[in-house]
C-alpha cells in the first residue's frame, strides 16, 4: 500500500469518526464486544480510537472494510459509508459480520432510555452504583452467567418485570428465535448463498484416457447450484497448476457477504490426489489448506464443502448380484498416495468422495458418474428440508445399489461413496428463512 493510499484511508476514518455521536460510539463498542475486551472498550472515547484498535486486531484495513461497514449500518449511520470503498457490497444483501448475540443486545440498548434503564436495573436486583448504563448491566449479567447466547430466559423475565414496551418485546422474540436457529444450524441466508466452483477435466493431453460423460455431471451441478442461488464458476480442462491457481485466487477473495463455499472437482484421481489434464497431480490436502481460517478469514466459521468425482485407488468393489443389467462404465483411477482424513481438516469442512480410499469410482459416457447422478438427484429433492449429512447417507445408499460392467475387465462392479466431515451444525444447502433478513442491513 502506498503512503498516499494509507493517508487517504486514515483521513476517511477520521471523517467517519467526526460524523459519529457519543451514543454511536457506545453502541459500536457493544457490537465489537466479541472482538475487543471490556477493559479496552473503556479506554475508547472516539470512533477513530475504536478503528485503530480494530486495525490492530485484523478487523479493519484498506482491503477489508466490511466489518466497519456493518458497524455503521447497525447504528444507522449509512450516510458515512461514502468514506469507505465498498466495492461490490450492497445495502440489501450479504452476511452481517456482527455477532448475532452482540447485535441484538445493541438493538435493545438503542431502544432503552434512562428511566427504562433504572426500571430494568431494579428488576435485575442490581444495586451496584458503578453500573450506570445498559451495556454495563449486560456485562454484569453475562459475568453472573445469567444471560448467554443460548439462554435468554432471564433477560425475557426481567424485561417483563420492568414492563418495557415499544419495540422491545418484538426484538426479544426475534432475538430468541435467531439464537435458537443459529445454535442448531449454519446460517445460509445470503443472496447469493456462496461461490460454487466446478473444475471439470474431460480432455487429457498427457496420454491418459479422456473422461467422456463428465460434461453431463458438470451441467447437472451447474444447474443445481444456480437454482440454489449459488454463484457458479465453471472451469473446464485445467492442468494441475491451474487447478491450484484457480482455488488460490478464490480463497483470497472477500467472502464476507456469503454464507457457504462449495467446490466440485471432476477428474482422474488417486488416493488423496486429483489430476490436471496435463497428467500432473495435486494433493487434495493442499487445496483444502487454502480455505483454512488463517488463509481465508472471511470464510471462518462458515461451512466449506468439497466434492470429488475421482478415483481414490485402483481396487474394484465387486458386486455379488449377477442379475443386474450390465452398464458400460469407466473408472477415473490412476495411482495411489495419501488420503486426507478428518484430522487433516479444520472445523466446518466436508469432503464428499465418490469412493473410499483405495477404490475406483465409475462413470457412464452417456449418463455421467454414479456419484454425481445420485448427489444431484438427492440435493434437488431434499436440500431445503434435509441436513446435508442425511442427504449424503441417502446418496451412499443410492450409489451402493448401482452395478455395472467395467471396461477394464473388472467384471460386475459396485461403488460406495465416502464422506468425511468436521461440520459442527446442521447444514441445509438450499435453506431459506425470513428470520434474520433484518440482519442484512
Q: Which residues participate in catalysis according to the annotation?
A: 268, 311
Contact 5, 84 (CB under 8 A): no
Query: What's the rounded Cα separation, in Å, for the pair 131 and 296?
Result: 40
Work out the burial of residue 297: count CB atoms within 10 Å of its CB; fewer than 13 is exposed, 13-18 middle, 19 or more buried: middle
DSSP annotation of 210 reads: P
Query: What's the rounded Cα separation, in Å, for the pair 197 and 199?
Result: 7
Strand 404-406 with 411-414, pairing: antiparallel
Query: What's the rounded Cα separation, in Å, for the pair 110 and 148?
Result: 19
Query: What's the rounded Cα separation, in Å, for the pair 270 and 282?
Result: 10
Contact 307, 264 (CB under 8 A): yes
Query: What's the rounded Cα separation, in Å, for the pair 144 and 124?
Result: 11
H or E stretch including 196?
A: strand 194-200
DSSP annotation of 276 reads: -
**Within 10 Å of residue 349's Cβ, how many Cβ atoms?**
21
CA torsion sign, 104 to 110 to 115 to 121?
A: positive
**Rounded to 5 degrees, what angle do the CA atoms 24, 29, 33 make?**
150
Q: What is the DSSP string of 87-108?
A: TT--SSSS---S-HHHHHHHHH
Would you report the helix, strand and coil content of the chain in percent, each value rounded to 5?
A: 40, 15, 45
Query: What's the rounded Cα separation, in Å, for the pair 368 and 217?
Result: 5
**Within 10 Å of residue 86's Cβ, how many Cβ atoms?**
12
Cβ-Cβ contacts under 8 Å for 215 (sequence gap 6 or more): 200, 202
Find residue 292's DSSP bridge partners.
none
Cell of 170: 418484538
Residue reference for cell 475487543: 36
* Ramachandran angles phi, psi of 424, nearest 5°: -110, -10
**Within 10 Å of residue 254's Cβ, how many Cβ atoms?**
17
Amino acid at each position: 500500500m502506498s503512503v498516499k493510499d494509507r493517508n487517504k484511508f486514515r483521513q476517511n476514518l477520521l471523517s467517519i469518526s467526526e460524523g459519529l455521536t457519543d451514543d454511536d460510539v457506545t453502541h459500536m463498542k457493544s457490537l465489537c464486544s466479541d472482538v475487543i475486551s471490556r477493559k479496552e472498550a473503556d479506554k475508547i472515547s472516539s470512533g477513530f480510537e475504536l478503528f485503530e484498535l480494530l486495525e490492530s486486531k485484523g478487523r479493519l484495513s484498506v482491503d477489508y472494510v466490511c466489518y466497519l461497514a456493518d458497524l455503521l449500518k447497525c447504528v444507522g449511520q449509512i450516510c458515512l459509508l461514502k468514506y469507505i470503498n465498498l466495492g461490490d457490497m450492497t445495502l440489501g444483501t450479504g452476511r452481517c459480520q456482527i455477532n448475532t448475540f452482540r447485535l441484538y443486545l445493541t438493538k435493545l440498548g438503542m431502544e432503552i432510555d434512562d428511566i427504562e434503564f433504572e426500571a430494568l436495573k431494579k428488576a435485575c436486583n442490581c444495586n451496584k452504583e458503578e453500573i450506570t448504563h445498559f451495556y454495563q448491566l449486560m456485562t454484569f449479567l453475562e459475568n453472573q452467567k445469567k444471560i448467554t447466547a443460548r439462554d435468554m430466559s432471564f433477560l425475557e423475565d426481567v424485561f417483563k418485570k420492568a414492563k418495557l414496551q415499544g419495540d422491545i418485546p418484538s426484538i426479544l422474540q426475534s432475538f430468541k428465535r435467531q439464537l435458537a436457529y443459529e445454535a442448531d444450524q449454519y446460517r445460509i441466508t445470503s443472496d447469493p448463498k456462496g461461490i460454487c466452483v466446478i473444475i471439470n477435466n474431460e480432455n487429457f493431453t498427457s496420454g491418459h484416457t479422456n473422461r467422456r460423460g463428465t460434461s453431463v455431471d458438470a451441467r447437472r451441478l451447474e444447474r443445481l447450484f444456480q437454482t440454489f442461488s449459488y454463484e457458479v464458476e465453471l472451469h473446464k480442462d485445467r492442468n494441475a497448476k491451474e487447478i491450484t491457481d484457480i482455488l488460490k485466487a478464490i480463497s483470497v477473495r472477500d467472502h464476507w457477504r456469503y454464507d457457504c463455499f462449495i467446490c466440485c472437482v471432476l477428474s482422474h484421481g488417486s488416493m488423496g490426489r486429483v489430476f490436471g489434464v496435463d497428467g500432473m497431480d495435486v494433493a487434495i490436502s493442499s487445496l483444502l489448506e487454502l480455505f483454512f481460517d488463517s488463509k481465508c478469514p472471511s470464510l471462518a466459521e462458515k461451512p466449506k464443502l468439497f466434492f470429488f468425482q475421482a478415483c481414490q485407488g485402483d481396487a474394484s468393489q465387486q458386486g455379488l448380484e449377477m442379475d443386474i443389467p450390465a452398464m458400460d462404465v469407466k473408472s477415473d483411477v490412476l495411482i495411489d498416495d495419501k488420503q486426507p482424513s478428518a484430522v487433516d481438516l479444520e472445523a466446518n469442512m466436508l469432503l464428499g468422495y465418490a469412493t473410499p480410499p483405495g477404490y475406483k469410482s465409475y462413470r457412464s459416457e452417456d449418463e455421467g458418474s454414479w456419484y454425481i447422478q445420485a448427489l444431484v438427484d438427492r440435493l434437488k429433492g431434499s436440500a431445503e428440508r434435509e441436513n446435508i449429512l442425511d442427504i449424503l447417507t441417502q446418496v451412499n445408499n443410492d450409489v451402493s445399489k448401482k452395478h455395472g460392467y467395467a471396461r477394464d475387465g473388472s467384471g460386475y462392479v459396485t461403488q460406495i461413496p465416502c464422506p468425511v466431515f468436521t461440520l459442527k451444525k446442521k447444514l441445509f444447502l438450499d435453506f431459506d428463512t425470513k428470520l434474520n433478513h433484518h440482519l442484512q442491513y
